[in-house]
Amino acid sequence: MPILNSLVRMAMKPLPRMISPRAHAIFDYFAAGSMFASAAWLWPRNKRAFVAALICAGTELGVGMLTDYPGRVRRVIHFGARREIDLGLAAMMATMPDFLGFDDEPEKKVFLAQGLAFTVLSELTDFPEEPESVERSRTRPRAA
């Protein structure tokens, strides 16, 4: 994880978890939309940053659509697992400029800001505990 994200995460630890799952869902879709808007803004300036913004926006939108927010019908990703996923997304966003080779250009700031925002959101969200793992009954093949 980038150093700046780690420092922000440590700074947020003592603060209370005050963001509800519903507010987290709203922020997720807002963040995906802002990354799509960033991609449109970056298109004429830097094609590599444009591609990075599309990757980040698509990933965030996909994860948001698969998460079981309260009231959602689709339950693929448990909301409690989102803390680790969001921290991974934050690290991905912050390292995209280095990965795609525009880390010395001003467009890098868009990705650093988005990564920091995701780190703050993850640390301030009130995530439920992980559900107990449900063991599935396995049928054993019969010996002939």
pLDDT digits (tens, 9 = 90+) for 12-51: 666 677 788 888 888 888 999 999 999 999 999 999 999 9
69 inside domain? yes
56 inside domain? yes
138 inside domain? no
Q: Has residue 75 got a pLDDT over 50? A: yes
Give the pLDDT score at 121: 86
132 inside domain? no
- Paired tokens of 74: 């689709």
Number of domains, the chain: 1
Q: Over the chain, what HEC string results?
A: CCHHHHHHHHHHCCCCCCECHHHHHHHHHHHHHHHHHHHHHHCCCCHHHHHHHHHHHHHHHHHHHHECCCCCCCCCECHHHHHHHHHHHHHHHHHHHHHHCCCCCCCHHHHHHHHHHHHHHHHHECCCCCCCCCCCCCCCCCCC
117 inside domain? yes
Q: Has residue 62 got a pLDDT over 60? A: yes
Average pLDDT over residues 55-70: 88
18 inside domain? no
Q: Has residue 1 got a pLDDT over 60? A: no
Sequence-distant (≥ 6) Cβ neighbours of residue 109 within 8 angstroms: none
82 inside domain? yes
Inter-residue contact 27 to 20 (CB < 8 Å): no
Q: Has residue 71 got a pLDDT over 90? A: no
143 inside domain? no
What is the extent of the structural domain holding 81? Answer: 3-10+41-124
How far, in Å, CA of 54 to CA of 140, rounded?
A: 46
Q: Has residue 102 got a pLDDT over 70? A: yes
- Paired tokens of 97: 């400029």
> What's the one-letter identity of residue 125?
T
Q: Has residue 76 got a pLDDT over 50? A: yes
